Structure 1
Amino acid sequence: MRIQFIDPGAFRAELSLQKASFVSDDAGGHTETWSEIATIFGFIEPVRAAAPFGAGQRHERVTHRITLRFRTGVTGGMRIVRGTRSFSILTAHDPDETGRYLVCLCEEEQT
């Protein structure tokens, strides 16, 4: 596999990596709360992708690619926040399997 070069100087955006936790309420449901795991620096690129077919399946839509330094434990279902914008992580992968970078394909959450 070809080693991918990513300019580390491009990691200028300060981001908050967050994980959801669910707290039970008294009515048998739950409340979703987000807690910050780490403050990280990354590079955000706008992308547009879609997987529009359905039949009861989730419709994946990638709107941004966020590249950061490699760290373990980043999975789909987490989110990355920058200022007032938040991005749901759909997938996270090491692009060249060297343990240097992590590329997250994300969808911007609508507020």
Structure 2
Amino acid sequence: MEQRTKIGARRKLFVIETPIDLPDGFGGFTRSWQAGPTVWGALETLRFDERRIADRTEEVATHRLRLRRRTPPPAGSRFALGPRRFDLRASDAAEAPARDLVCLVEEIRP
């Protein structure tokens, strides 16, 4: 059975941020983020995991974000919800009804 998101469920206002990479003069780059359009969405937590990176444990929360149907954000984008940031991992408009865009996002914990 297909799951539909009611308009009232999309009550969180997200800002789509796109990366801007500028050369740093040493062969690398400095990344900054440009705020783009705002979109209403419904956020659903899928799971919490722990990863070990360089002798450090990192908590990772994975969520499903349902937005009104639109062009998917470019790869490397992220969503901002107040002080929280969510990296875009995948988007699949075919998974949901024609009026939804479903994005799998990972919350960035500082």
Match of 1:79 in 2: 78
Q: Distance in 2 between matches of 1:33 and 1:81?
A: 14
Partner of 1:102: 101
1:107 shift after superposition: 0.6
Deviation at 1:82, TM superposition (A): 0.3
Mark the CA change 1:62 to 1:93 in structure 2 (over 3 Å): closer, same or farther: farther
Separation (CA, whole Å) in 2 of partners of 1:83 and 1:77 = 19
What is the deviation of 1:64?
A: 0.8
- Count residues in correspondence: 100
Unaligned runs of 5+ residues in structure 1 are 53-60
Q: Does the CA-based 8 Å contact 2:45-2:61 persist in structure 1? A: no
Structure 2 length-normalised TM? 0.79
Is the alpha carbon distance of 1:85 and 1:62 closer, same or farther for their aligned partners in structure 2, counting shifts above 3 Å? closer
Report the CA distance between 1:5 and its aligned residue: 2.1
Between structures 1 and 2, the one with greater strand share: 2
Report the equivalent of 1:42.
41
The Cα shift of 1:62 comes to: 6.2
- Secondary structure of the corresponding residue to residue 74 of structure 1: coil
Q: Give the Cα–Cα distance (whole angstroms) in 2 for the partners of residues 100 and 62 of structure 1.
A: 26
| Residue identity (%) | 32
Structure 1 residue 77 displacement after superposition: 1.8
Give the Cα separation in 2 of the matches to 1:4 and 1:63: 19
Q: TM-score, with normalisation over the residues of structure 1?
A: 0.78
Could you tell me how far apart the structure 1 residues matched to 2:106 and 2:61 are?
5
RMSD of aligned alpha carbons: 2.0
The residue number in structure 1 matching 2:7 is: 8
Runs of 4+ in 1 over 4 A off after TM superposition: none
